[in-house]
Structure 1
Amino acid sequence: MVLAAGLGTRMRPLTNDRPKALVEVAGATLIDHMLGRLADAGVETAVVNVHAFADRLEAHLKTRAGAPAIVISDERGELLETGGGLRKARPLLGEDPVFVANIDSVWTEDGAPAIDSLARAWDPERMDVCLLLARLDRTLGFDGAGDFFMAEDGALTFRGAASSAPYAYMGVHICRPDIVDDGPDGAFSLATIWRELAPRGRVHGVVMDGFWMHVGDPGARDEAEAKLAEARGK
């Protein structure tokens, strides 16, 4: 599932006439960057939720050729956040584990492909969620103090009251889709569920080898373009 229903308020004025998913970085829209990564990982079908400028986003997605095939989860009536969006899409997702991806992340691959590493780390016997993480010194556009500590077995602990943590969630994870079945009606965040699962050791992570760029505002978009141009020039 690709989470593309956000309002993109921090990205204005670039989102005055389009959804954040259609903001371009280095010649490709954010959603095409993500769909391309998922296609490279072998994903055949992607559920995409839509809200702001939904007609424009759907029209763009219809122009895409090749994998993944696109299925729309329509959130025009109500913006549901990450958890509510996943819950609304449940009939489209089935019961098997799914990738869930934000559209404001781009990255370089410096070793093992990031999504492949995530898939290899997935173990449903030990975890309900597995998050793809970035080291803070290999990020651009992320202004937080880190999100997680990681145990030797990959189990994650939220930063909590600590001044910093070494890893940031970079916007892609695998989960059992039924973790949202008991969530509240309407809008809610997936992080709420993760905070319930983490003390039980059911939230794990894997650290990506590449360099992550969080494209959250126009300045971050420009920085990401420069970083991608530098990487391609090597």
Structure 2
Amino acid sequence: MTRPASPAGGEGASRPFATAMLLAAGIGRRMRPLTETRPKPLVEVGGKALLDHVLDRLPPAGVETAVVNVHHFAGQMEAHLAARRTPRILISDERDGLLDSGGGVRRALPMLGREPFIVCNCDSFWIEGPRSNLAAMTANWDPARMDILMLLAATATSVGFEGAGDYHLDPGGRLRRRREGEVVPFAYAGVLLIKPDLFDDMPAVFSLNRLFDAAEAAGRLFGRRLDGVWLHVGTPQAVQEAERRIALSSIQ
């Protein structure tokens, strides 16, 4: 694990998607009591920390470096990450205060580099289909049309997600956010590809939703359907549901 003192941490990111940002600094209030003694990304599902489920998906997609932001039980996070060998880990320290999802990425930009990169939530993972979903996303990235490409999960087959969905996906892959009172078939699965220049001139603290809405308005927000089963782990009950689904998949 590397904890850089200067922006040089991202100097090796010379191609798109060689780096990824893991949003891991949240307090995890909905996951209590499990998060009273540990950070949410270190809650275990299927015998492995949520954080490791996400990190293990990155190298097969060509990711060499992962930047992980830390805040809640930051020392535990750093100790856990120190044991990993791949991908290379850089720490973005938010002990001085949470910056929301967009602000967390913005602070880490010097480590992420100036090529498009991957952003992942640490409470979402999936049972993979026949091909790496991340590899499929990077292969389908089209910078001429896209500013953001999201991984989408079908709400009807997802585990741990309750709600009316997040986005409508048109036949060309463009996304439209769900309107008031509407039910849509897809949820944002917590993974996206994004251009770094979208963060230029943004404030220190802001939500990624601002960039999603701007890209949608410009017709440059796209989605790709997840091949597999999405496991959204946001509560202790959802941990149990995910455990059952993982156990079922192992005997199918």
- Deviations 1:178-222, CA, capped at 9 Å, x for gaps: 21122122x211011111120211110100111001000100001
Q: Tell me which residue corresponds to 1:77.
A: 96
Instruction: Give TM-score, length-normalised by structure 1.
Output: 0.96
1:111, distance to aligned residue in structure 2 (A):
3.1
**Counterparts of 1:112-123 in structure 2 under 5 Å?**
112-123=131-142
Give the 4+ runs in structure 1 shifted more than 6 A: none
For residue 27 of structure 1, what is the aligned residue in structure 2?
A: 47
Percent identity of equivalent pairs = 49
Does residue 161 (structure 1) correspond to residue 180 (structure 2)? The answer is yes
Q: Tell me, which stretches of 5 or more residues in structure 2 are unaligned?
A: 1-20
Per-residue deviation at 1:162?
4.4
The residue aligned with 1:223 is 241
Aligned equivalent of 1:207: 225
Residue 147 (1) aligns with residue 205 (2): no
CA RMSD of aligned residues (A): 1.0
Q: For 2:201 and 2:51, locate their aligned partners in 1 and report how far apart those are by CA, in whole Å.
A: 29
* Correspondence for 1:178 among 192, 197, 200: 197
Aligned counterparts of 1:20 and 1:7: Cα–Cα separation in 2: 7
Within 2, Cα distance between the matches of 1:137 and 1:77? 40
Query: Whole-Å Cα distance in 1 between the matches of residues 214 and 146 of structure 2?
Result: 13
Aligned counterpart, 2:213:
195
> How far, CA to CA, are the matches of 2:60 and 2:143 in structure 1?
23
Distance 2:145 2:65 in 1: 26
What's the CA shift string for 1:19-56, capped at 9, x where partnerless? 10100001000000000011222211000000000011
173-182 vs 77-86, which deviates more?
Answer: 173-182
Which is worse superposed, 194-203 or 25-34? 194-203
Instruction: Say which of 84, 100, 106 aligns to 1:64.
Output: 84
In the aligned structure 1, how far is the partner of 2:219 from the partner of 2:31?
Answer: 35
- Unpaired runs of 5+ residues, structure 1, are none
Instruction: Map residues 5-154 of structure 1 onto 2, 5 A cutoff.
Output: 5-65=25-85, 67-154=86-173
Letter in 1 for 2:117: V
Q: In 2, distance between residues paired with 1:23 and 1:39?
A: 22
Report the 3-state secondary structure (helix = DSSP H, G, I; strand = E; otherwise coil) of the residue aligned with 1:229: helix
Cα distance between partner residues in 1 of 2:110 and 2:227: 34
In structure 2, distance between residues paired with 1:111 and 1:148: 25
